[in-house]
Homo-oligomer: A and B are copies of this chain.
Amino acid sequence: MRLLAGCELIVEADVDCAVVAMLRPRSGDAQWLVSEHYAFDPHVRPTEFVDSFGNLCQRFVVPSGRMRIRTELEVETERSIAVAPWSAPMAPASLPGHTLQYLLPSRYCPSDRAFERAQEIVDQAGPRSGQVGAIVAWIRRHIAYRYGVSDATTDALDTIAHGAGVCRDYAHVGITLCRSLRIPARMVVGYLYGLEPMDLHAWFEAYLDDRWYTFDATQDAPRGGRIVIAYGRDAADVAFLTNYGLLQTVEMQVWVGEKQ
């Protein structure tokens, strides 16, 4: 399907503020960037580098005052996504080297402290259910989708304790439980067609059957219509805007529509 998506941010700084933005998707196996517009008002001179996960990162300095950052995209992507709810985890010795970093605990996904919880979840789900499928089902039953209960310091164990969170917290819980069962799992941020209310979104991927599969516990059924912006170990790696100084986001709009 062909999506028209984008976002507009208005930020404000009292003094010049260095930032790194991650707002430029890359074409890959599952999406093709047909068209893109990415501009700043006032214009600055951004540079771009590729981080260790392969994401494109835009660096620039927000001058004092207001700045508008606007990106518009036309992307060809999949209407439906491959699913693997019943797949068994791969034996660790069979995992490709590049997936092993996604087994390690990270800032928001302390998987070294979640083994008992994960084991309990898959035991209760029974042998016929896939482990990641069981994890997603458990998150949907036990974590309420609610704004305002989490912030930038909330990790997956906090969210399990609270019993509530937003898309980023759902993803952190899913990743943490997968990793504690030795299933490589990574954070994904991007756009999702039909999301309500519309915003930038976060979900996760798990490595099963020698490929990455998409999982999104915020949705009651697997859904395509996704545009990936960035991959990482958790939210620390994939912030759409990291500011190295004081910066206020005055306004943010996100849109995703299907091209007719």
Contacts and interface: CB of A to CB of B under 8 A. Distances in A.
Interface of A: 18, 20, 24, 26-29, 32-39, 43, 45-54, 56-59, 61, 74, 76, 91-93, 97-98, 100-101, 103-107, 109-110, 112-113, 152-153, 182, 236-237, 244-245
The listed residue with most B CB atoms (<10 A of its CB), out of A34, A45, A101, A107, is A107
Nearest to A37: B35
A59 B46 CA distance: 28
A241 to B, nearest CB: 13
Question: This chain: how many copies in the complex?
Answer: 4
Given A18-B92, A57-B97, A113 B153 contact: yes
A91 B45 contact: no
Contact of A32 (B26, B46, B105, B244): B46
B27 A244 contact: no
A48 B20 contact: no
A51 B153 contact: no
Contact of A104 (B56, B93, B107): B107
The DSSP consensus for interface residues of chain A is mixed
B93 A61 contact: yes
B182 A27 contact: no
Contacts of A107: 104-107, 109-110, 112
Contacts of A112: 107, 152-153
B35 A100 contact: no
A92 B35 CA distance: 27
B47 A27 contact: yes
A93 B32 contact: no
17 contacts: A26-B48, A27-B56, A27-B58, A28-B47, A34-B38, A35-B36, A36-B36, A37-B74, A51-B97, A51-B101, A52-B52, A101-B237, A103-B244, A104-B236, A106-B107, A107-B107, A112-B152
Given A101-B51, A104-B237, A93 B37 contact: no
Contacts of A74: 37
A147 to B, nearest CB: 20
Contact of A97 (B27, B59, B104): B59
A49 B56 CA distance: 13
A14 B106 CA distance: 29
Contact of A39 (B35, B43, B51, B53): B35
Given A24-B27, A34-B38, A51-B97, 11 more contacts: A27-B46, A27-B47, A28-B47, A32-B45, A32-B48, A35-B38, A35-B39, A49-B98, A92-B245, A105-B107, A107-B112
